[in-house]
Amino acid sequence: MDKKIVLQLGEDGLPLDDVSHYAATAEQLRTYEQAAEDLSRLKVPQLLDRADPHSYLIVGLMDGTGNDAKKDPLHATNVAKFADQLEKLKEAGEKRLYVEYIEGAGTQDNPLEKALDGATGRTSLFRAEEMYERLKTQSQEIFQADPEAKIAFHLEGFSRGASQVPLLARMIDVRGIPDPDGGIRGIDANGQPIYNRYHQRPGLTPMTVGLYDPVATGYMEMFD
């Protein structure tokens, strides 16, 4: 004789599985509508003003674990695709837009380094520092050509790259955009140089960030 299995069904018609659930009330559903209205009223700052010849935007893109758009373009992530779109904008004549891209952790040629970095993300801080240096160098070139420049940053990352972006944003906010030609007058408590002149002082650079599926597993957990 076949053994019969009796399943109790919940209000939604699905088998009860000891996982609590409930149907959303009309009042709870209205909170989604309210959230949409709140977002529609949010004023987003304009990072690149096409009407202002001194407005510049630099985009810093940090890819995910094992992702390298140059070595493996067939598996390009959203960050890599965004970089490609921005480059096409530049080719189309957007002259005051600059793009910096850094491949993800675990993309080294050395098999041992690749495996270790892919598992732990041990180069995360280094990659954030490298991106800051690139942005600083690009900013210096802009200010040398246009002393009245106003620079804004958009930072975007995927996976482990997304966990590095907050570090990068903090570096920009705390260190600003210095003018290295003005020399250094000291070292701060964190071992960072204090410059005599800043193109944009700490805390005064407009920034936005985009984070896709942040992964802080391994080394980055030390910074939680």
Q: Is residue 47 part of a domain?
A: no
Q: Is residue 210 part of a domain?
A: yes
Q: Is residue 126 part of a domain?
A: yes
Q: Which three-class secondary structure state does DSSP give residue 102?
A: strand
Amino acid 190: pLDDT: 85
Contacts of 129 (CB under 8 A, 6+ apart): 171
**Over residues 117-131, mean pLDDT:** 92
| Backbone angle region of 218, left / alpha / beta, with phi > 0 → left and psi within -120 to 50 → alpha | left
Strand bridging mode 193-195 / 184-187: antiparallel
Average pLDDT over the chain reads 91
Percent of the chain with pLDDT over 90: 74
Token code pair at residue 49: 């003003």
Q: How many structural domains comprise the chain?
A: 1
Predicted confidence (pLDDT) at residue 224 exceeds the cutoff of 90: no
Amino acid 173: pLDDT: 96
Q: Is residue 156 part of a domain?
A: yes
Name the pLDDT band for 35 (thresholds 50, 70, 90).
very high
What burial letters (b/e) apply to 107-125, b meaning 16+ CB within 10 Å?
Answer: bbeeeeeeebbbebbbbbe
Amino acid 91: pLDDT: 94
Of 14, 215, 2, 1, nearest in space to 119 by CA: 215
Query: Which domain range does residue 68 map to?
Result: 55-223
Q: Is residue 204 part of a domain?
A: yes
Amino acid 20: pLDDT: 67
Q: Is residue 32 part of a domain?
A: no
User: What is the amino acid identity at position 107?
Assistant: T
Q: Is residue 114 part of a domain?
A: yes
Amino acid 12: pLDDT: 65
Contacts of 46 (CB under 8 A, 6+ apart): none
More confident residue, 222 or 17: 222
Amino acid 36: pLDDT: 92
Q: Is residue 13 part of a domain?
A: no
For 39-88, what is each residue's pLDDT tens digit? 888 887 789 999 999 999 999 999 999 999 999 998 999 999 999 999 99
Predicted confidence (pLDDT) at residue 18 exceeds the cutoff of 70: no
**Over residues 148-176, mean pLDDT:** 96
Amino acid 154: pLDDT: 97
> How many residues does the structure list for the chain?
224
Predicted confidence (pLDDT) at residue 6 exceeds the cutoff of 80: no
